[in-house]
Structure formats: structure tokens, C-alpha cells
Amino acid sequence: MIVVTAPTGQIGHQVLNALLDSGQPVRVIARDPSRLAPRTREHAEVVQGSHRDPVALAEAFEGATGVLWLVPPNPRADDIQEHYLGFTRPACEAFKTQGVQRVVGVTSLGRAHGKHAGLLSPAFAMDDMIERAGVNYRALAMPFFMENLLNQVESIKTRRAFFLANTADRPLATVATRDIAATAAALLTDSAWSGQDTVRLIGDTLSPHDMAQVLSEVLEHPIRFQQVDEQAYKTTTTRYGMSDAWAQGLVDMAAAQNDGIYDAEQQALTSAAPTGFRQWCQEVLKPAVLRC
């Protein structure tokens, strides 16, 4: 039995579909089962509840050979570290008491950077906690998600621009979530591995300025990138309802990316993830812009 947490999220739902396609027995934890796709409700076991709840975790993890561990974002959280660890603490206890064999978690590149990194630092603390629990663990270490640009589809279409706090000409490692999901599903269905290790995935590395050039070519009209001042970026995000802590976490994450948090692992990588940025723009972003 493989357990999927956050089954309606952008990564979780792709892993879930891959597992269902493979015929694997799957169990999901869902706070609101009505949000699950009909296929999931028909073919997967459903445990209703939060995967922060020890009771729901114990029920979901019983007899589990593998668990996809994802901490869902909460832009209203007042303490970003406790948000991550508040989910992970009871999970680690359930991993041990229920005898979970393998855990695959989604985290970030840059763990060895050694400096505060905003929203990335709680993910590193999550990895530490899971590893101390002694479970067999694969940490999928990710850079900037290409899908982050989907949040700016309207701006890309109407203003022909996108905005980040990242430096315009500094290369930024990127990855498509479908490559994360495919890697996670493969690990969850593979019973041969044990121990603890990090799996790094990078599709393309290119600066925001270069991203704008690719977007211009794919969309067949000029798209510009504009770097946003950190304070303006924080002000904008809090205006849309983010907590001060979460907004500051985004600002500090961008600062860490500008400081090269991904550089060492990017340079050591021997092969790229399958989906390049141009392909992702053609297959995912362009259709989203046309639908907008």
C-alpha cells in the first residue's frame, strides 16, 4: 500500500495519477474528500482528515510500504518553521509506530548552503527530522518550479511581463513538477532501495532575462522581465492576504537564490531532468495563456 499526502496539490495529484495508472494499491489522506477526482474516490482508499492529525496518520500509514510526504503551503501561517514541523512531527512518530518502509519527501536544493533561506529553511528542518526518525528516506531536492510562472499568466497575457524578486541576469535552476512527480512515483513503486539519500532534479538553468526571451519566442510577442524590489514584493504579497512571516519567507528565499543557494548542486549535476524550460512553456504555459 502506497500513501499519498496532499493528493489534490500540483505534485501530489500527478503522483497519484501515475500510481493509479500502474495499478498500485493507493491510499490518500484528504481533509475534504469531495475535492478528489472521481477516479480517485473509486480506485483509492480514502482517509478523511488532515495529515497533521496523529489519528488520521496512524490510520493512513497502517501497512504502508511507501509514503509520499508533502507539506502543503499555508500563506497565512504565522510561523513558517512550525508550519513544516507541525506536520512532520506526528508523521515521524507514525512512520515508526506503523512500520512504514520507505518515505519520499519533496524538499529543496541547497541544504548544505548553511545560511537562512526563507521558505527553504523549514524544508531542510523537515528533512533533518525525518532522517532522525530512522526511516528509509529519499529527499527530492528541487529548485525553482517552472509552474510558479502560472501564477502570472494574466500578467504575461495582458501586460506582457512577469515579475520576480530574483536578479534579472543571474542563472536560476528550474524544474517542471511533472518530472518531480514521475521521479517520486518511480521511487514509491521500487522496493529495492533503502537508507537515506538526496535525489536532485534540475531541468534547465537560465536567468529570468533568458526566461523572458524564451517566452517571447514561444508566445510570438515580446515578454519582459522586471525585478521587483524586496520591500515592494513583500508589500504586494501581504496585500493579497499572506502573513508577514510567509511573505518574508518568500523574500528571503529569493535572496538565497540570488546568493547562489543552488549553485554547488547545479554544477555537480551530471544529467538534467527530462523537461526543459522551452518545452514546458510550449506544452503548459502557452495553453494556459491562451485560456486566460
For residue 290, count CB atoms less than 10 angstroms from its CB and return exposed for 0-12, middle for 13-18, buried for 19 or more: exposed
Q: For residue 240, what pLDDT band results from cuts at 50, 70 and 90?
A: confident
pLDDT in tens, 197-217: 999 999 999 999 999 999 999
d(CA 90, CA 39): 29
Average model confidence (pLDDT) across the chain: 95
Pair (194, 72) in one structural domain? yes
For the segment 45-78, what is each residue's pLDDT rounded down to a tens digit?
Answer: 999 999 999 999 999 999 999 999 999 999 999 9
- Whether residue 64 lies inside any domain: the answer is yes
User: How far is 50 from 54, CA to CA, in rounded Å?
Assistant: 9
What's the whole-model pTM score? 0.95
Residue 257 clears pLDDT 90, i.e. is over it: yes
141: β partners = 107, 200
Query: What is the arithmetic mean of pLDDT over 229-242?
Result: 88
Domain-embedded: residue 149: no
The whole-number pLDDT of residue 275 equals: 97
Residues 22 and 98 in one domain: yes
Query: What's the rounded mean pLDDT across residues 31-44?
Result: 94
Residues 210 and 185 in one domain: no
Q: Do 75 and 191 fall into the same domain?
A: yes
Q: pLDDT over 70 for what percent of the chain? A: 100
* CATH of residue 96: 3.40.50.720
137, 61: one domain: yes
Q: What percent of the chain has pLDDT over 90?
A: 91
- 252 and 195 share a domain? no
Task: Please check whether residue 101 is in contact with residue 136, taking contact to mean a CB–CB distance below 8 angstroms.
Answer: yes
Asked whether residue 9 falls in the same domain as residue 84, the answer is yes
pLDDT band at 236 (very low <50, low <70, confident <90, very high): confident
